């Protein structure tokens, strides 16, 4: 009888050990090239997760919008058809409108301030609470960056007057839909993958993004003038599907969160390093980078809209805006 008990106990240990060591490969989607700041974050997260899980967990990346636009992948992560997505906080407003607070213009005072905000524990916690209050099917892990956004067109945008009646492709958020018309621009919504052709054909005259995105997607071929407006931070957020999250043990959840936390410590700063490198490459290629843009007109228009929009978005947005402003 004792032998039988020992055999049963040993068998249970084997089953338990086998279950804990079960290998899993997760899909990880984003809409930029593998060599972008998104790709850097995905690589870092995947390697750290593999290390923490002792090789049992790995990720399979789908860059370049292979699994759909950001709006589409956000839907798919909620339904469990994608395991991880790294998307902009702007496009995340399609599933939680208050996320648009991170798209308010001129609240990020430069690269150093942006990195401080994105790696601040209180900000990350507030953003996580904001998404959890509304989003079903996905769980926020951490924040990231793709630098600051600038306007690029076939002409220079040196001041507020230069953008009047110009057709600008913007992300589909309440924030953009309010601010750009306030500047006098005409806004156009479209998935990122359509921007190149739309600039080429004149459907839009300008778009806005960071140097690395502009470089890697060759938008300089159809919009060869980038005006350094730095009007908005190009923030990103990493989500995991609730389907995956609910299937994990407490220890496994810790692996995911730790990998995400470690990614957050390095990815935003790396994104800005990539931005500097991309700008240098663009200048060597002969792309016109317009510095000395008079931002005062844009700032004067956007300043009173910041608090108004945050209040309209909701209490989480108001709190997050306060946190961003409080970080020096």
How many C-beta atoms lie closer than 10 Å to residue 248's C-beta? 15
Of 198, 211, 200, 145, give the one whose Cα is nearest residue 169. 198
- Would you state the structure tokens that stand for residue 261, as one six-digit string? 């936390």
Partners of 139 in beta bridges: 240
Walk along the chain (328 residues) and give the pLDDT tens digit of each residue: 445 444 444 444 444 444 456 899 999 999 999 999 999 999 999 999 999 999 999 999 999 999 999 999 999 999 999 999 999 999 999 999 999 999 999 999 999 999 999 999 999 999 999 999 999 999 999 999 999 999 999 999 999 999 999 999 999 899 999 999 999 999 999 999 999 999 999 999 999 999 999 999 999 999 999 999 999 999 999 999 999 999 999 999 999 999 999 999 999 999 999 999 999 999 999 999 999 999 999 999 999 999 999 999 999 999 999 999 999 9
The domains of the chain, with CATH numbers, are 24-326 (3.40.190.170)
Cα separation of 270 and 190, whole Å? Answer: 28
How buried is 159 (Cβ within 10 angstroms: 0-12 exposed, 13-18 middle, 19+ buried)?
middle
How many C-beta atoms lie closer than 10 Å to residue 194's C-beta? 15
Cα separation of 1 and 6, whole Å? Answer: 9
Looking at residue 194, what DSSP letter applies?
G
Of 239, 231, 221, 215, give the one whose Cα is nearest residue 306. 231
Question: Contact 58/50 with Cβ under 8 angstroms?
Answer: yes
Cα separation of 91 and 86, whole Å? Answer: 11
For 234, the 3-state DSSP assignment is: strand
């Amino acid at each position: 009888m004792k032998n039988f008990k020992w055999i049963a106990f040993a068998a249970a240990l084997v089953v338990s050990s086998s279950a804990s060591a079960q290998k899993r490969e997760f899909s990880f989607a984003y809409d930029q090239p593998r060599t972008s700041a998104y790709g850097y974050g995905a690589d870092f997260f995947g390697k750290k997760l593999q290390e923490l899980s002792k090789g049992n967990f790995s990720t399979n990346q789908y860059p370049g919008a292979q699994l759909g636009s950001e709006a589409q992948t956000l839907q798919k992560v909620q339904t469990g058809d994608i395991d991880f997505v790294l998307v902009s906080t702007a496009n995340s407003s399609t599933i939680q409108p208050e996320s648009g607070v991170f798209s308010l213009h001129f609240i990020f005072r430069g690269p150093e301030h942006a990195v401080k905000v994105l790696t601040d524990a209180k900000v990350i916690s507030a953003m996580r609470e904001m998404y959890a209050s509304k989003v079903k099917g996905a769980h926020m892990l951490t924040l990231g960056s793709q630098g600051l956004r600038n306007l690029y067109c076939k002409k220079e945008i040196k001041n507020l007057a230069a953008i009047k009646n110009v057709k600008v492709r913007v992300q589909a958020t309440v924030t953009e839909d309010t601010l750009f018309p306030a500047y006098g621009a005409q806004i156009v919504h479209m998935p990122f993958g359509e921007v190149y052709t739309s600039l080429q054909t004149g459907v839009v005259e300008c778009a806005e993004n960071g140097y690395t995105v502009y470089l890697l997607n060759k938008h300089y071929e159809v919009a060869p003038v980038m005006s350094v407006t730095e009007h908005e931070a190009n923030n990103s957020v990493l989500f995991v599907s609730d389907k995956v999250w609910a299937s994990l043990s407490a220890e496994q959840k810790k692996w995911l969160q730790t990998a995400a936390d470690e990614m957050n410590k390095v990815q935003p700063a790396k994104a800005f390093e990539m931005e500097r490198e991309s700008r240098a490459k663009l200048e060597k290629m002969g792309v016109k980078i317009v510095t000395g843009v008079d931002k005062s007109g844009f700032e004067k228009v956007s300043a009173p809209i910041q608090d108004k929009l945050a209040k309209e978005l909701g209490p989480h947005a108001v709190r997050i805006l306060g946190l961003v402003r409080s970080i020096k």
